[in-house]
Amino acid sequence: MKARTRVLVVDDSAIARELIERGLSLDPEIEVVGKASDVLSARDKIVFLEPDVITLDVEMPGMDGIEFLRRLMPQYPKAVIVVSAVTQEGSRRALEALEAGAVDVVAKPSTQDGQGLKRMLLELAERIKEAAKADVSKLRPRAAAQPSRRRSTSRPPKRNQIVALGASTGGTTALRSIFQALPKDMPPILIVQHMPPVFTKMFAESLNKESGLEVREAVDGDVLRDGLALVAPGDFHMRLVKESAVLMVRCDKAPKTCGHRPSVDILFGSVAQVAGARAVAMLLTGMGRDGAEGLLAIRRKGGRCLAQDEASSVVFGMPREAWENGGAEMLVPLDRAADEILARLSESPAKEGQT
């Protein structure tokens, strides 16, 4: 019999702890082995209970969840999922937690929102099972932000090119690493990072501060231009379209694809149709297979397609699927990702339909 994923629930709210325990206990693959109301008691229970995954509210009395993460990860590396309120402050703190070593974030609705709670608990259960497979050694606390290492390309990219990036678990760290190494004179960049609403806006703002590019959350109808990177808004698909000879994005609430909205497959599929051989795409760390079919579609249209390698991926799920189905032409270490993207932008586009 498959061993269940052992979970420790850390939240200062007794109601929240009870609701999370009750909801997770409905999943036969999960066992809640303990609960803690503050990080001090959580630390002791981590040692004695040895959970596989910890759910953590960052707003805690005494030492907060972020400082706890910074101290925890070097001594007891664990997969931590932040369960945070969907507010601007909650989103900002959740992003800090991801930078401190958390693997994922799930939005916490109001305790009065019964349907919202039910959806959150189902999502949390799935994220916990994914997080149990993560290599948390690759999520070391991030050092202070560094300025972009590149400001101009040696060979300017050709006109009308598009860069498309997709990521899930561990993706915020991966994307930040890439953006810090990209020049400001890039062609338009489109990004899907699996995150809830509000969190995507805060993530885009954090990338904008650390990059030579302009990075922001996409709005339906945004027109693409060089030097602009758009992050798909949480709970919305983002598609590339061409209207009256103008490239823009459309955001909609069509059904989830591969269990996600936004979905990498939706973005990549639209890029294949509109940009074809002028596209350079890369699929980064994440669980599942979202993006694998879309990457293959881009490659079949002649676009250049990469995937993050196993050694640098927190979860080698999405990249593995893209490699095995032929969507990725090359597996790339994260520290070489920006260079490989730039190299392909400088090459002549492949012929339409080449695989």
d(Cα 112, Cα 114) in Å, to the nearest integer?
6
**Domain assignment of residue 153, yes or no:** no
User: Do 202 and 321 belong together in one domain?
Assistant: yes
Which of the four pLDDT bands, split at 50, 70 and 90, describes residue 144? very low
| Top-confidence range, 64-73, 102-111, 172-181 | 172-181
Per-residue pLDDT tens digits for 126-142: 999 989 989 888 876 55
In this structure, the answer to whether residues 215 and 131 fall within a common structural domain is no
Is 117 part of a structural domain of the chain?
A: yes
Residue range(s) defining the domain that contains residue 108: 5-138
Contact 279, 304 (CB under 8 A): yes
Catalytic residue numbers read: 168, 194, 290
- The confidence score (pLDDT) of residue 351 equals 52
Conformational region of residue 191, where left means phi above 0, alpha means psi within -120 to 50, and beta covers everything else? beta
Which range among 88-97, 281-290, 332-341 shows the weakest confidence by mean pLDDT? 88-97
Task: Examine residue 152 and state whether it is found in any structural domain, yes or no.
Answer: no
Q: How far is CA 319 from the centre of its chain?
A: 13
- Confidence (pLDDT) at 51: 95
- The reply to whether 190 and 282 lie within a common domain is yes
Residue 309 belongs to a domain with what CATH number?
A: 3.40.50.180
- How is residue 193 written in tokens? 């990072």
CA distance 9 to 345: 46
CA 10 to each of CA 34, 45, 106, 348: distance values in angstroms, whole numbers, following the listed order: 9, 10, 14, 53
Same-domain check for residues 113 and 69: yes
Same domain as 221, residue 134: no
Structure tokens at 174: 């991966």
CA atoms in the 13 A half-sphere facing the CB of 72: 29
**How many folded domains does the chain comprise?**
2
Instruction: Tell me the average pLDDT across 208-217.
Output: 94
State mean pLDDT over 209-223. 96
**Residue 313, pLDDT score:** 95
- Tell me the CATH number at 132: 3.40.50.2300
Return the DSSP state at 72.
H
**Dihedral sign computed on CA atoms, order 38, 119, 292, 238:** negative
Query: pLDDT grade, residue 330 (50/70/90)?
Result: very high
Q: Are residues 257 and 298 located together in one domain of the fold?
A: yes
